Every structure is written in structure tokens, then in C-alpha cells.
Structure 1
């Protein structure tokens, strides 16, 4: 009897948690959403240049941004580009076209749809950060420049410790495509490199990421 009561309590807790989770999407904080677009990799490396990005399964409700047209152990064949959206806040100081905001992907399940913003998964043993998609209320804020290229804003430069906050916006384009192991899967996928140094993962190649209308 006690086991049955415990199982029921756990089931109710999971149900409530799932409902609370699914009903608190990023649109609650970033309500203005763009039309769908695809993300295209731009690089001097001919193997990855022109490839699109796709949401590739990497765990329960988790995807990594793998290169659609580049093979890898967990995705040996080409797959279609994933449609993404760009969500921004309603603030008058926010540029609803270029950001800052969140790149979002609509995860479709058997009985639910969940908005999944792009966010970073950090490995303390590496300076290479995996870009992933997972249902959440928030994610990594990004922006697009006048050429449609993806960047992250920074006002902090600790290479100048006397005045690390100089009040000037720096646009960072530290995107790479790397052969990454994540969640039991291995994809050639989008990554961000921390700091000004080179990625310690030797498979990484420098890329930019461009928004292109569908």
C-alpha cells in the first residue's frame, strides 16, 4: 500500500513539474517572435562551408546544433535544415530584428510542443562550449549583425584588468564547428570557444553562422 501511495505521489509530482515547465516557455520573457529561418555555416573550410544547422537528438528533450550536411558517427547521412525562430523582449530598447534575443526551436513530442532556446553546455575541462537546445524559460542571448551573422555582445574585457568595463560594446564571433561528444552522441556540431585562445579540441574549424530566410 505504501509503495502504491509513493508511486502515485511521484507520478503527480512529475506531472505537475512537467506542466509548470511546459507552461513557462521563453515566450513568457521574449514574446516577440520572428518568422522561421535557417542557420547556415560560413567558413573558409570547404568541408563545412554552406552546411545548414539541424537539431540532432542528444538526450531526453535535448538537441545539439549539428551540421546538416556533414557526416559524423551519430549522423552519417545528410539531413534537412531545422527551422529556427528568433525571440526578443518587448522592451523599447530591443531591436526586434537583430536582438539581443534567443534562438528558439519547437520541440514536438507525442503529446506536447515545447519551445527550446539555444543555450551553452560547459565542460570545466575544456574551453570549447557545446551549443544545445533544451526546453527552458531562458537561454544564451545572442544578436545578428547587419549581414545576418550571429554574435554575442560583451562589455567586459579582462585582458585589461585596470578597466575591464570600458562601456564599449564588443561583438564576439567565436563560433566553431567541432567533432563533439555530448550526451552519448558524437556529432560535428556548433561550438563556442571561451576567451581569445584557440580551441583545445583539434577538430574545431572556425565558422560564422548566418541567418537565411526560408
Structure 2
């Protein structure tokens, strides 16, 4: 058991220090959902502050964005230093985006912002990639997060890596902006915010 835990710790340390400089082909992010008004929608980057974007639903109505918006183009950056943590799991990487400004482009990457009074994390695109969240796409191109600790038992138990898919569409507020955003539930339950619906996130490569 000590050897297994040490191996897992080493693997996670490798992920945190890897250089994610292998850029994928461009793609869109599309949603599937049991909610008919959300199913088939795309993700678009919405202005949320100076150089900051959030992941809005392109066809959603909200106070802060025009309706509808065009789907945004994203990339997935991986590292040649690290592969999938276990057979059958996707290669770790970071979700990136190029923010167009008058003087050129700002490379950005998704970080999960946690408000301790909420039960979901808000994915935000920040310039650079120092604090970027590591994700993985599975063999069906679905986006998830990989972990190895089972928190449903007491005490929590380290074990095999698995991928989690805890995506929801929720009404959000951040720095004065009201959007319908893609969010990550902090646990297995549906977020407490009214209007949240469960979604799956899939990449569709551009033609």
C-alpha cells in the first residue's frame, strides 16, 4: 500500500510540474443534457473582467451578454512528459483559449474559481497557464477531471484513478456579471442554485 500511494503521489507531482506545450487542433465545446433548452448548445467565452473570460452557454439569455453568441474555439495542451495516469483514461492537459485584443492575442487557460459560500466552482479563463486546472478528454471526447481518492468512505481511501464528470449549467454572478455558465459541482450532488441542469461536455474538432 505504501508503494501504491507513493506511486500515485509521484504521478500527481509530475502532472503539476509538466509543461503543457503540445497544442491540439482547434475545437468547439458542445453540451448534451436532459434539459431540451440546453441540449446541443455550445460554449462561448464571455467577458468577466480585465483579461478574464468565463464559459457561457452560447444560446442562453442573461443580463450581461447578447443572445445568442458564437461558439468559441478552444485548444487542449498536453505534455510529452506525462501520459494517462491509468490504462483507458485520457491524457492530462489544460484547456486553452486565445483572447483577441487590439494589440494581438492573449493566451489563456481555464482555472477553477472557488467561492467558499457556493457548492460549485466557476471555470475562468485567465491569462497564462501557471494555475491552470488539469483536465482530460476520454475516448468519447468527453471532458472530465481525474482523481484517485474515494471521498465517499470514512476515512477517505486512495485507490485507482477514475474520471469524474460533474458539469452543470448554472446561473452565475462574478464581479458584476450575470451569466448562464458551465460550472463544476463540488461533490456528487446537483448544485443548490436554482436553474442548474446537468450537462456533458464534448469537444468537436473544427473543420
* TM-score, length basis structure 2: 0.84
Matched with 1:69 is: 59
Matched with 2:120 is: 128
C-alpha distance in 1 between matches for 2:154 and 2:104? 48
User: How many residues end up aligned between the 2 structures?
Assistant: 185
C-alpha distance in 2 between matches for 1:54 and 1:92? 29
C-alpha distance in 1 between matches for 2:67 and 2:155? 51
Matched with 1:4 is: none
RMSD: 1.8
Out of 200, 203, 207, the position equivalent to 1:208 is 200
* TM-score, length basis structure 1: 0.81
Shift of 1:162: 3.6
C-alpha distance in 1 between matches for 2:175 and 2:37? 25
Shift of 1:94: 4.9
Matched with 1:18 is: none
Write 1 or 2 for the structure with the bigger share of strand: 2
Unaligned runs of 5+ in 1: 1-27
Q: Does 1:89 align with 2:79?
A: yes
Contact 2:58 2:69 in 1 (8 A): yes
For the pair shown, which has the larger CA radius of gyration, 1 or 2? 1
State the 4+ residue runs in structure 1 displaced beyond 3 angstroms.
none
Matched with 1:145 is: 138
1:167-201 alpha-carbon deviations (Å, 9 max, x no partner): x1121000000010112111111000101222111
Q: Does 1:105 align with 2:97?
A: yes
1:22-62 alpha-carbon deviations (Å, 9 max, x no partner): xxxxxx92110001000001101011111100000010000
Matched with 1:181 is: 173
C-alpha distance in 2 between matches for 1:99 and 1:64? 24
C-alpha distance in 1 between matches for 2:84 and 2:165? 20
Contact 2:190 2:198 in 1 (8 A): no
